[in-house]
């Protein structure tokens, strides 16, 4: 009996171009009367003007706070009355929107999204409220040990670079953001040449094309962005201490990584899963948590923002055991760099990474989000079919080579918040 043919995910993706020139990826799916759309504009918080960090974050918070003839209350009521989900967000490199609606409310959903994107009001009262909400989060984070560790690490890793700032903004700068700043950034960033769109659900290409032209064709043709320089993570071997009278030391650690299109990236994905990314099965989990009981959680991840890349991790532990925790992490990095993983570790990691990939496709919203991510990263739909094969093709030799590249001499930039015994700033 012949083995069943593998289902091609890529074959389901239609790449459409509207009469107005808007490109989008579409997956038609009529199993549920729902349409989910994710879209983004390249250029997020890294484009915030000097001294006014938080512009992108506030802009994201303001687009659904009144638009066209609808004030904030009327706009939100219209969304609620039609069970429409519409929200915007900004990270370091992307300004993102998400729309989800039942097909019976498709016209109303795109109507509201169109007016939000093209004619936001930026009224004074909602602006004050959104600024206040962001300030409240920033003030809470300024006293939260884990957030403080992340901030201290960021500032040491990328000094004098936009990535050193919180994507939400900085205390003392958010209040300086006014309506004119939002109007300017809306015009500068939300442009067609940096737009990417992914749509999944009960809608055909012809209907979607009309909706997309109404939504996006009126935006400026080209964005006006400030180039963000490439910045490698600095400070390897350095330890940054932030004194805080808490019983636990909160730790961030990291070093340069691999870019998303590096030929060794898939091998690095497998290696990171084995070293620190595999939750309950990783070496860090086993050595730091299970064998020594130093922490409740420890992890590492590959980070690939557009202007940098890193292997970044975190943990927390009692102040008295912070030095031991850092020593174990360094030892495991050096051991992995010198020896690489075992054949058994490699096979278990590949099996998990291949098997779990399907979980990214169990809802329309997840599929749309993943399709948008692939576009942001510069991949085509064919990635959907070849990704697992590339994971399966990773060899023990590949992971041992990449271990040396990724973990090198085991030195990390470390930031610690607390009063850790035996750990000093360097």
Three-state DSSP string of 236-285: CCCEEEEECCCCEEEEEEEEECCCCCCCCHHHHHHHHHHHHHCHHHCHHH
**Rg of the chain taking only CA atoms, in angstroms:** 23
Whether 11-216 and 239-418 share one fold: the answer is: yes
Which residue, chain included where needed, has tokens 């884990």?
146
- Taking each helix axis from N to C end, the angle separating 265-272 and 383-392, rounded to the nearest 10 degrees, works out to 60
Tell me how far the alpha carbon of residue 275 is from its chain's centroid: 21
**Cβ distance 130 to 65 under 8 Å?**
yes
How many whole angstroms separate alpha carbon 310 and alpha carbon 254?
Answer: 7
pLDDT digits (tens, 9 = 90+) for 245-300: 999 999 999 999 999 999 999 999 999 999 999 878 999 999 999 999 999 999 99
Distance of CA 358 to the CA centre of its chain: 19
How long a stretch of residues is the chain? 426
Neighbours of 87 (CB within 10 A): 15
Instruction: Identify which of 349, 332, 329 has the alpha carbon closest to the alpha carbon of residue 399.
Output: 349
Tell me how far apart the alpha carbons of residues 195 and 17 are, in angstroms, rounded to a whole number: 12
Cα–Cα separations (whole angstroms), residue 132 to 74, 127, 129, 177, 201: 21, 8, 5, 12, 36
Per-residue 3-state assignment (H helix, E strand, C coil) for 6-45: CCCCHHHCEEEECCCCCEEEEEECCCCCEEEEEEEEECCH
Q: Which two tokens stand for residue 141?
A: 């984070």
Name the nearest CA neighbour of 187 among 135, 110, 122. 122
Domain 11-216 CATH (choose: 3.30.70.1380, 2.50.20.10, 3.30.830.10, 3.40.1160.10) = 3.30.830.10
Mean of pLDDT over the chain: 96
**CA dihedral for 112, 90, 357, 23, sign (positive or negative):** positive
3-state SS, residue 88 = strand
Distance CA 75, CA 61 (A): 13
Q: Chain centroid to CA 235: how far?
A: 24
Q: What is the pLDDT of residue 3?
A: 42
Q: What φ, ψ does residue 69 adopt, rounded to 5°? A: -85, -5
CATH 3.40.190.10 fits domain 239-418:
no
The C-alpha atoms of residue 78 and residue 111 are separated, in whole angstroms, by 11
Measured CA to CA in angstroms, residue 236 lies from 158, 205, 298, 305, 414 at distances of 12, 50, 20, 19, 8
**C-alpha angle 340/341/344, rounded to 5°?**
155
According to the model, what pLDDT value does residue 414 have?
98
Parse the chain into domains and list their residue ranges: 11-216, 239-418
| CA atoms of 368 and 250, how far apart (whole Å) | 35
Exposure string for 23-38, b = 16+ CB within 10 A, e = fewer:
ebbbbebeeeebbbbb
E strand or H helix that includes residue 87: strand 85-90
Per-residue pLDDT tens digits of the chain, which is 426 residues long: 344 456 799 999 999 999 999 999 999 999 999 999 999 999 999 999 999 999 999 999 999 999 999 999 999 999 999 999 999 999 999 999 999 999 999 999 999 999 999 999 999 999 999 999 999 999 999 999 999 999 999 999 999 999 999 999 999 999 999 999 999 999 999 999 999 999 999 999 999 999 999 999 999 999 999 999 999 999 999 999 999 999 999 999 999 999 999 999 999 999 999 999 987 899 999 999 999 999 999 999 999 999 999 999 999 999 999 999 999 999 999 999 999 999 999 999 999 999 999 999 999 999 999 999 999 999 999 999 999 999 999 999 999 999 999 999 889 999 999 999 999 998
pLDDT score at 1 = 38
CB 131 within 8 A of CB 62: no
Q: Degrees (nearest 5) of the Cα angle 115, 117, 118?
A: 65
């Amino acid at each position: 009996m012949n083995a069943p043919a593998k289902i091609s995910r890529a074959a389901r993706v239609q790449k459409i171009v509207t009469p107005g020139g808007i490109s989008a990826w579409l997956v038609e799916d009529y199993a549920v009367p729902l349409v989910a759309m994710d879209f983004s504009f390249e250029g997020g918080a890294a484009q915030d003007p000097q001294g006014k960090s938080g512009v992108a974050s506030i802009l994201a918070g303001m687009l659904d706070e009144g638009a066209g003839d609808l004030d904030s209350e009327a706009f939100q009521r219209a969304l609620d009355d039609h069970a429409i989900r519409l929200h915007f967000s900004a990270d370091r490199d992307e300004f993102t929107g998400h729309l989800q609606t039942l097909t019976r409310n498709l016209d109303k959903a795109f109507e509201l999204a169109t007016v939000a994107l093209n004619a936001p009001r930026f009224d004074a009262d909602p602006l004050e409220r959104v600024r206040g909400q962001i300030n409240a989060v920033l003030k809470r984070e300024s006293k939260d040990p884990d957030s403080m560790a992340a901030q201290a690490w960021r500032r040491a890793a990328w000094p004098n670079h936009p990535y050193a700032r919180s994507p939400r903004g900085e205390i003392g700068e958010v209040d300086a953001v006014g309506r004119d700043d939002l109007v300017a950034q809306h015009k500068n960033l939300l442009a067609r040449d940096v737009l990417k769109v992914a749509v999944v659900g009960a809608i055909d290409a012809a209907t979607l094309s009309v909706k997309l032209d109404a939504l996006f064709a009126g935006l400026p043709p080209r964005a006006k962005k400030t180039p963000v320089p490439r910045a490698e993570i600095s400070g390897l071997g350095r330890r940054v201490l932030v004194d805080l009278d808490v019983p636990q030391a909160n730790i961030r650690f990291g070093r340069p990584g691999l870019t998303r299109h590096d030929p060794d990236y898939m091998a690095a994905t497998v290696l990171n899963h084995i070293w620190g990314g595999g939750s309950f099965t990783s070496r860090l989990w086993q050595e730091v948590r299970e064998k020594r009981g130093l922490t409740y959680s420890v992890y590492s991840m590959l980070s690939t923002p557009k202007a940098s890349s890193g292997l970044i991790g975190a943990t927390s532990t009692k102040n008295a055991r912070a030095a031991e925790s850092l020593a174990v992490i360094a030892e495991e990095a050096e051991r992995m760099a010198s020896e690489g993983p075992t054949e058994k570790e490699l096979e278990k990691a590949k099996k998990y990474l291949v098997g779990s990939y399907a979980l990214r496709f169990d809802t329309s919203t997840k599929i749309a989000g993943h399709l948008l991510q692939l576009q942001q990263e510069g991949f085509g739909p064919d990635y959907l079919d070849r990704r697992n094969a590339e994971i399966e093709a990773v060899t023990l030799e590949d992971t041992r080579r990449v271990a040396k590249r990724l973990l090198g001499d085991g030195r990390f930039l470390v930031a610690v918040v607390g009063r850790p015994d035996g750990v000093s700033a360097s």
